[in-house]
Structure formats: structure tokens, C-alpha cells
Amino acid sequence: DALTNLGSSGARFKDLYLSGGVYLGGTGSANKLDDYEEGTWTPTWLGTGSNPTVSYDTQEGRYVKIGSFVYVKVRLDITSSSGGSGTLLLGGLPFTATNDSGALGVASLGYKTGFVTQGPDFGRCVNNYIEMYYDNGTAEAAMGPANLGSGTQCIFAAVYNTTQ
């Protein structure tokens, strides 16, 4: 038990195909990796009341899913936006976020420019979207779609849990 190596630094195997999973660092169910996926998705600006009309210059989303853990990267550049109401949402997440408040996902913004009054400081992953918030000096406040302006650019990453 645990005495035989499969390959070495000078004699590596090319590909490994498994019908189940692989146990890493132990044999318990918590050590089994049986789900890994990478892909693209299309992020879209939305509103909880009504959706804004948005023209996109760049609309890119990438994701990595390992088990129930999802990491997404987003880049959105818009040329124009009008209308919309309620809280500003980023929709189209590739997997539904867990609604457990103890496992709430968080988005961290790396770059933002062109918002009308205030750009988002962070987001919360809920269901199939990210709710966008900013710090108003005394507390967190929800952003509205009216904050999207011509030339708005946003680059950020988010991590969340899914049950899918």
C-alpha cells in the first residue's frame, strides 16, 4: 500500500482517463476530485425591477469549476446604457450560486471606470447573478442600473459555491 509510483519525472504518462474520480491526499469522500470544468459564459447587466438596454463593446466571461467551487472572471465594456430599475445585477452566471448565507459568494472588482455616480466596490453571488454594491461612507448600498454610463468598463473576479 502506497509504495508504487505511477511514472516518474523522466517517464511520464501522457493522458489519464477515469470513469470515476481521483483521491488526492487521502481516501475519504472529501478527498475525491470527481468534477473539474473550464469554459466561457456571457455576462449581462440586468436590474431587479427592469433590465437596462445595454450595447456592449466587450462581453467576456470565463469560469473554472472544481467540485462545488466556481471561480469566474468577467470583462464588460459598454458603449451605451439606458433605463432599468432596481438593484444592478450581473446576470448569466454559469452555475446557480448556493443561497446559503454562510456560503455566500463574493465578487472583487479589479478595475472600474465610466460609472455615472459610483462604481461597484463588491458584489454578492445569489442564484444566477451577482448583486452589485458600493460603500456610501456609512454602510453598503445597492447600485442601480442608472449608474451604468457610456464607456463603462468593469473587470473583476468572483468565487462562489454551487449545488450543481
Per-residue pLDDT tens digits of the chain, which is 164 residues long: 778 888 888 999 888 888 888 888 888 888 888 889 999 999 999 999 999 999 999 999 999 999 889 999 999 999 999 999 999 999 999 999 987 765 678 888 888 999 888 888 888 898 899 999 988 888 888 999 999 988 999 999 999 999 87
Global pTM value: 0.84
From its phi and psi, is residue 133 left (phi > 0), alpha (psi between -120 and 50) or beta?
beta
What is the rounded radius of gyration, in angstroms, for the C-alpha atoms of the chain?
20
**What residues form DSSP beta bridges with 88?**
47
| CB count in 10 Å sphere of residue 22 | 11
**What residues form DSSP beta bridges with 36?**
66
- Residue 153's identity, in one-letter code, is Q
